[in-house]
């Protein structure tokens, strides 16, 4: 499982350990079906414009066979 969190340097130092303790206490305790699930925290860093751009071009046939608007 890869839960994402907003990256912030003020609480990053202790957040991973606190979250892991909370996960093991309330969800992954002995005998729980969630005990086998591994958790890796993934920080969300600042998004750039590149993440919002479309990376794939449409097919050439679609581009050349467009009808003009009237």
pLDDT, tens digit, 9 for 90 and up, residues 14-67:
788 888 899 889 988 888 888 888 888 777 766 666 666 767 777 777 777 667
pTM tops 0.75: no
The sign of the torsion formed by the CA atoms of 53, 59, 65, 67 equals negative
**What residue spans of 1-69 are helical by DSSP H?**
12-26, 60-64
Residue 18 pLDDT: 86
Containing H/E element for 7? none
The domain ranges of the chain are 4-48
Q: How far is CA 9 from the centre of its chain?
A: 18
Q: Please, what's the largest Cα pairwise distance for the chain?
A: 68
The CA distance from 47 to 45, in Å, is 6
């Amino acid at each position: 499982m890869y839960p994402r969190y907003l990256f912030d340097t003020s609480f990053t130092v202790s957040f991973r350990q606190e979250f892991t303790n909370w996960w093991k206490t309330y969800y992954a305790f002995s005998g729980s079906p969630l005990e086998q699930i591994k958790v890796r925290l993934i920080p969300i860093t600042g998004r750039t414009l590149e993440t919002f751009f479309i990376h794939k071009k449409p097919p050439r046939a679609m581009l050349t066979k467009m009808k003009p608007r009237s």
